[in-house]
Amino acid sequence: MHLAPSTSIHDLVSEHPYLIDVLADFAPAFAKLKNPLLRNTLGRVATLQQAADIAGLEVNGLMLHIARGVLDHSSEAVTIVPKGAPGTGAKPGPKPAAVAGASPCASTCGTPCDAGQAPASGSPLSDAARMETLKELIRELHAGADPATLKARFAAAVGDISGGDIARLEQAMVAEGLPEAEIKRLCSLHVDLFKGALDEAPAVSAPAGHPVRTYMDENAKAMELADEIISQVDRMHRTPGDRTSPIDEMAWSFSSRYIKELLEDLAHIEVHYTRKENQLFPLLEENGIEAPPKVMWEVHDDIRGLFKAARAAMENLAATAAALATRDAAEAVKDMVYKEEKVLFPMALESLTEAQWARVRHGEDEIGYAWVTPGDEWTPQATYLAGLTDTTGTAGTAGTAGTAGRARASGSAQLVQLDTGALAPNVLNQMLRSLPVDLSFVDADDRVAYYSDVPHRIFPRSAAVIGRNVRNCHPPKSVHMVEDILAKFKAGERDTAEFWIELGGRFLHIRYFAVRDTDGTYLGCLEVSQDVTDIRALTGQRRLLEWS
């Protein structure tokens, strides 16, 4: 075996699977290699040098430990090319040599050390000290410190960071009292502060059909459209190369229709965001990662607002305003792509289990996709799908995606006894699905317990919402109103709340009802949403005998 800083982790553990446990026992960071998906994505492109950097180890010490592991499991000879040797392009470190059966620690670096323990590495920061350093940098950033100075301090004191690190950092800052709105206000600066390290991190990848691959395929199309919009707008400035100069009216008149078509095509990215909010975010929340999804949802809403502003500017026919508003939307989409692929997806791959990814995938089809159709190279294992909510409305499936064990008896002969009759569960289910309204029920603990899965749903829902805290089902800016309604329902101060909005040319009526037991005990909240556009347009009368 030949070990060098450039040796691929994937190649090592593929040829010697026992090294997965050897590495996991050596440093907690390597426990991620036990996740097959993470091993086949990040592990496929990561080198021993990158792995050592992530774990806060000196690469020569890591290679020594791997060599000992090989010798403990086989009689294969091991040759180590130390960091700094000719051709490695790295700075010199301790000088290990070939290993062939003797103790790696004693025979290569010349300094005896305990078996399995890496040599000293120049006192890297502990995980706790590293997190404190990162938090201090963020505190100073929010206090108005110069980002360039903080970048230099980060590079000197920490050096690298992963998407998971950023998630843990933001979660810790919220736990210490930093408002989520404040994190959202400067989230782009957070990413910019660590951009150099994020750019050097291995790109994530996933097989066709895996939710991350689908997101990334959509991102590729979004980047193509956004880049074309930006290119078109930038060439229209009256002063070439000066983006502060006005847009040339003549150039705009020739290209505005094309740019409007590009904008509407790019707006399909909203389906991508909705799928994240309903399928991916609930599973991250289950794992205790709440702040980053909430912040990202707020940014989604900002992007939706930019699309709305761009459309309005297009209608007003003011060339400069319309062009720049469209460009702003395109830039925001590109910025979100970077945050997803450098922060969100690595964080999710690190956090979610295979069973949870199966739950993310289950229900995605209900919400839909932007531009792409998922492949079938990766499909959830049948054992992981067992017990998930049947989203087709047919009988025979028990359980829910969000709360295992809350089974329903759909398809059985047992009847559900009601105040004025009894119905088979499958009949009751189909009755609820036949109503011309969207129903959602939140239990007394504020967890989503049910929604009516109907083709005409106004607001997207998918199986991952079951069991989710209702506060996480709404954009952060409206959560305070949800909490106020629920508080008044529970206190008995109100029994209903009613709203109506115009959306996409349709008139929507939204009502909330407090559901109580016969003794007045609060059982939960029923949400009823209905598109009443056509009802409001009715005139005259139509009697039963006139039906045909």
- Which one-letter amino acid corresponds to residue 493? E
**295, 219 contact by CB (below 8 A):** no
What pLDDT score does 439 carry? 93
| Measured distance CA(396)–CA(94) in Å, rounded | 64
Sequence-separated (6 or more) residues with CB below 8 Å from residue 206: 37, 41, 212, 213, 216, 349, 378
- Element (DSSP H or E) covering residue 2: strand 2-3
CB atoms within 10 A of CB 399: 17
3-state secondary structure 485-519: HHHHHHHCCCCEEEEEEEECCEEEEEEEEEEECCC
Residue 512 φ then ψ, to 5°: -120, 135
Sign of CA dihedral 466, 472, 477, 480: positive
Contacts of 318-322 with C-beta under 8 Å, sequence gap 24+, read: 319/236, 319/246, 319/247, 319/248, 319/249, 319/252, 319/253, 319/256, 320/246, 320/247, 322/252, 322/256
3-state secondary structure 7-70: CEHHHHHHHCCCHHHHHHHHCHHHHHHHCHHHHHHHHHHCEHHHHHHHHCCCHHHHHHHHHHHH
**524, 516 contact by CB (below 8 A):** no
**190, 170 contact by CB (below 8 A):** yes
| Measured distance CA(148)–CA(454) in Å, rounded | 52
Q: Which CATH code fits 435-548?
A: 3.30.450.20
- Element (DSSP H or E) covering residue 423: strand 421-423
Pick the CATH number of 211-367 from 3.40.50.11810, 1.20.1050.10, 1.20.120.520, 3.40.50.300: 1.20.120.520
What pLDDT score does 465 carry? 87
Assign domain 2-108 to a CATH class: mainly alpha
**337, 225 contact by CB (below 8 A):** no
> What is residue 531's three-state secondary structure?
strand
Residue extents of the structural domains in the chain: 2-108, 127-197, 211-367, 387-433, 435-548
Q: What tokens were used for 363?
A: 């229900």
- The string of DSSP letters for 208-260 reads TTSHHHHHHHHHHHHHHHHHHHHHHHHTTBSSTT-TTSPBPHHHHHHHHHHHH
What are the CA-CA distances from residue 382 to residues 359, 409, 479 (Å)? 11, 21, 36
- Element (DSSP H or E) covering residue 443: strand 438-443
Q: What tokens were used for 344?
A: 């969100």
What pLDDT score does 43 carry? 52
Of 446, 487, 450, 454, which is closest to residue 470 (Cα–Cα)? 446
- Specify which residues 441 forms β-bridges with: 450, 526
| pLDDT tens digits for range 70-106 | 887 887 777 777 665 544 444 334 333 333 333 333 3
**188, 356 contact by CB (below 8 A):** no
pLDDT in tens, the chain (548 residues): 778 887 888 788 888 888 888 888 888 878 877 777 666 655 555 778 878 877 778 887 788 888 888 887 887 777 777 665 544 444 334 333 333 333 333 333 333 333 333 333 334 445 677 778 878 888 888 788 887 887 777 777 676 777 777 777 877 888 888 777 777 776 767 777 777 777 877 888 899 999 999 999 999 999 999 999 999 999 998 887 788 889 998 889 889 999 999 999 999 999 999 999 999 999 999 888 888 888 899 899 999 999 999 999 998 878 999 999 999 999 999 999 999 998 899 889 988 999 999 999 988 988 999 999 999 999 888 777 766 654 444 333 333 333 333 333 334 458 999 888 899 998 999 999 999 999 999 999 999 999 998 877 888 888 888 899 998 888 878 888 999 999 999 999 999 999 999 988 899 999 999 999 999 999 999 999 999 999 999 998 888 777 77
Q: What tokens were used for 530?
A: 């209905």
Category of 470 on φ-ψ map: left (φ > 0), alpha (ψ -120 to 50) or beta? alpha
Q: Which residues of 524-538 are buried (b: 16+ CB within 10 A; e: fewer)?
A: bbbbbbbbbeeeeee
Category of 103 on φ-ψ map: left (φ > 0), alpha (ψ -120 to 50) or beta? beta
Q: Do domains 2-108 and 435-548 have the same CATH topology?
A: no
**161, 199 contact by CB (below 8 A):** no
Residue 8 φ then ψ, to 5°: -75, 130
Sequence-separated (6 or more) residues with CB below 8 Å from residue 46: 8, 9, 10, 54, 202
Q: Which one-letter DSSP state was computed for residue 112?
A: -
What pLDDT score does 340 carry? 94
| pLDDT tens digits for range 174-185 | 888 877 777 777
β-pairing, 522-531 vs 79-80, is: unpaired
**411, 430 contact by CB (below 8 A):** no
Mean pLDDT of the chain: 80
What pLDDT score does 391 carry? 43
Of 341, 331, 335, which is closest to residue 198 (Cα–Cα)? 341
Q: Where do we find the tokens 């010697």?
A: 16
